[in-house]
């Protein structure tokens, strides 16, 4: 077994990933399943030719392709992703990912499509209600999820493209996998002559375009980012994104950040009351509502901003409102409390029966986060367009609509 020549002299201290046939498969106990057949109505793709006409040395070919990939200003990735090895939840993905980590595109789970945006370290999905129901996601503002942007976790999206598909990061991940063979086999892949490189493990392979020297397809059992313990299983066709595609990426993400993202909810934690809230009133009437919210599912991620809006009401004296906001950590709890004082003064004091109603909601993007995101996107756009590679005009035309 010959190792890939290290570009950055870095090697992962984890178990070797696996390599096998040209179609990425999921399996347990030796059982292989074609990724495409896991989708409803999916059909297995024809496997590339298994008898190469000739071979070439794999190490220099892989080294040059990885160096080229690392220098991409952005890439397009189309294919299938599963959250983990052995998962039956296979998702179609079509994404553009910049060197900054900004990404946009679509994922499709169980036949339901969701739009995806990843910017400034935050991940958002816009999908119909059925998508969220399939994920088992619920919350106090679930009615606002349908067709609107919602902040999501990597698990809810299936994976986080900003963690695995940033060109330089993807190059580093692939660099950390040993070569299985010293030779790369010539292979016809979807009508294009490529060299297939088998990587160490059971199901890890890379196809490099014989003409351009660029990586055309990857099939990796576990794409593990640096510092992570696990990663998604992928079968993706890759291409360098042209200038038009990069402009479209930043235009779309910036427009969303300026507009609809400002009203996004947050699905990363299922927020619910921990026990029963309490209401008390003193002379005024001066009424207070207090309660504790918690991670109702117990498997949330991150920290979610929670807002409580309370309406106190009486037929004679009308309504008064108050609110409270705090940050709820996954697995934790948060105390919320607010008061409203009618402050009625009278020579003839009266008693009033005051009712109250409280509504919980989540905030996916605070004002401060929105302002920071817009500033960051402007800086990233300029850096990506000025510091990346220079795809040909033909490539720009092909990639511009992705």
In tens, the pLDDT along 77-135 reads 999 999 888 777 899 999 999 999 999 999 999 999 999 999 999 999 999 999 999 98
Position 14 in a domain: no
223 shares a domain with 198: yes
- Report residue 364 as tokens: 């996916």
CB 184 within 8 A of CB 61: yes
Residue 189 φ/ψ, nearest 5 degrees: -115, 110
Residue 347: pLDDT band (50, 70, 90) is confident
Residue finishing a domain among 246, 263, 280: 263
Position 294 in a domain: yes
Max Cα-Cα span within the chain: 102
In this prediction, residue 22 carries a pLDDT of 32
73 shares a domain with 165: yes
- Report residue 188 as tokens: 């016809």
Cα distances (angstroms) measured from residue 295 to each of 45, 333, 366:
42, 7, 20
Which CATH number characterizes residue 202's domain?
2.50.20.20
Residue whose token pair is 């890439």: 75
243 shares a domain with 297: no
Position 297 in a domain: yes
- Report residue 315 as tokens: 């037929």
**Beta bridge mates, 286:** 282, 341
Position 177 in a domain: yes
Give the predicted TM-score (pTM) of the model: 0.81
Residue finishing a domain among 233, 263, 293: 263
Residue 359: pLDDT band (50, 70, 90) is very high
Position 376 in a domain: no
Share of residues in the chain with pLDDT > 70 (%): 83
CB 305 within 8 A of CB 321: no
Average pLDDT in the 4-28 region? 34
Nearest Cα to Cα of residue 165 among 17, 203, 398, 157: 157
173 exposure class (CB count in 10 Å sphere: 0-12, 13-18, 19+)? buried
Nearest Cα to Cα of residue 58 among 239, 173, 186, 165: 186
Which CATH number characterizes residue 351's domain?
2.60.40
Position 397 in a domain: no
CB 282 within 8 A of CB 315: no
Nearest Cα to Cα of residue 82 among 236, 256, 279: 236
**What is the total count of domains within the chain?**
2
Q: Return d(Cα 177, Cα 200) in angstroms, integer.
A: 6
Task: Tell me the residue length of the chain.
Answer: 402
Give tens-digit pLDDT for 32-91: 334 543 444 444 455 555 554 588 999 999 999 999 999 999 999 999 999 888 777 899
CB 293 within 8 A of CB 301: no
Residue finishing a domain among 263, 288, 313: 263
In this prediction, residue 53 carries a pLDDT of 53
CB 45 within 8 A of CB 193: no
Domain holding 311, by residue range, is 266-363
Q: Return d(Cα 244, Cα 142) in angstroms, integer.
A: 36
Nearest Cα to Cα of residue 150 among 130, 110, 122: 122
């Amino acid at each position: 077994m010959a190792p890939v020549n290290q570009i950055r002299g870095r090697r992962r201290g984890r178990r070797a990933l696996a390599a096998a046939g040209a179609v990425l498969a999921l399996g347990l106990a030796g059982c292989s399943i074609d990724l495409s057949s896991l989708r409803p109505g999916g059909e297995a793709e024809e496997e590339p030719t298994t008898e190469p006409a000739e071979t070439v040395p794999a190490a220099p070919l892989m080294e040059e392709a990885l160096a080229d990939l690392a220098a991409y200003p952005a890439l397009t990735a189309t294919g299938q992703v599963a959250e983990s090895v052995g998962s039956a939840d296979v998702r179609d993905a079509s994404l553009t990912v910049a060197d900054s980590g900004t990404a946009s595109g679509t994922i499709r789970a169980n036949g339901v499509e969701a739009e995806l945006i990843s910017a400034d370290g935050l991940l958002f999905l816009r999908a119909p209600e059925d998508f969220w129901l399939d994920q088992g996601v619920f919350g106090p503002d679930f009615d606002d999820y349908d067709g609107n942007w919602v902040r999501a976790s990597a698990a809810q999206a299936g994976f986080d493209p900003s963690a695995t598909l940033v060109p330089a990061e993807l190059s580093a991940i692939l660099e950390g996998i040993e070569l299985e063979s010293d030779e790369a086999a010539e292979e016809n892949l979807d009508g294009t002559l490529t060299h297939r490189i088998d990587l160490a493990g059971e199901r890890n392979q890379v196809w490099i375009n014989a003409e351009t020297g660029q990586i055309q397809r990857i099939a990796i059992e576990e794409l593990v980012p640096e510092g992570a313990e696990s990663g998604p299983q992928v079968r993706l066709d890759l291409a360098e994104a042209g200038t038009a595609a990069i402009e479209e990426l930043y235009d779309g993400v910036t427009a969303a950040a300026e507009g609809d993202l400002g009203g996004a909810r947050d699905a990363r934690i299922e927020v619910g009351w921990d026990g029963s809230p309490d209401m008390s009133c003193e002379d005024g009437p001066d009424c207070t509502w207090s309660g504790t919210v918690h991670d109702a599912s117990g498997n949330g991620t991150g920290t979610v901003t929670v807002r409580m809006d309370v309406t106190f009401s009486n037929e004679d004296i009308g309504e008064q409102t108050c609110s409270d906001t705090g940050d709820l950590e996954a697995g934790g709890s948060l105390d919320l409390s607010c008061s409203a004082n009618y402050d009625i003064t009278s020579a003839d004091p009266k008693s009033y029966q005051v009712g109250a109603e409280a509504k919980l909601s989540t905030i996916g993007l605070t004002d401060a986060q929105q302002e920071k995101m817009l500033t960051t996107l402007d800086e990233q756009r300029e850096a990506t367009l000025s510091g990346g590679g220079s795809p040909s005009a033909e490539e720009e035309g092909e990639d511009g609509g992705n």
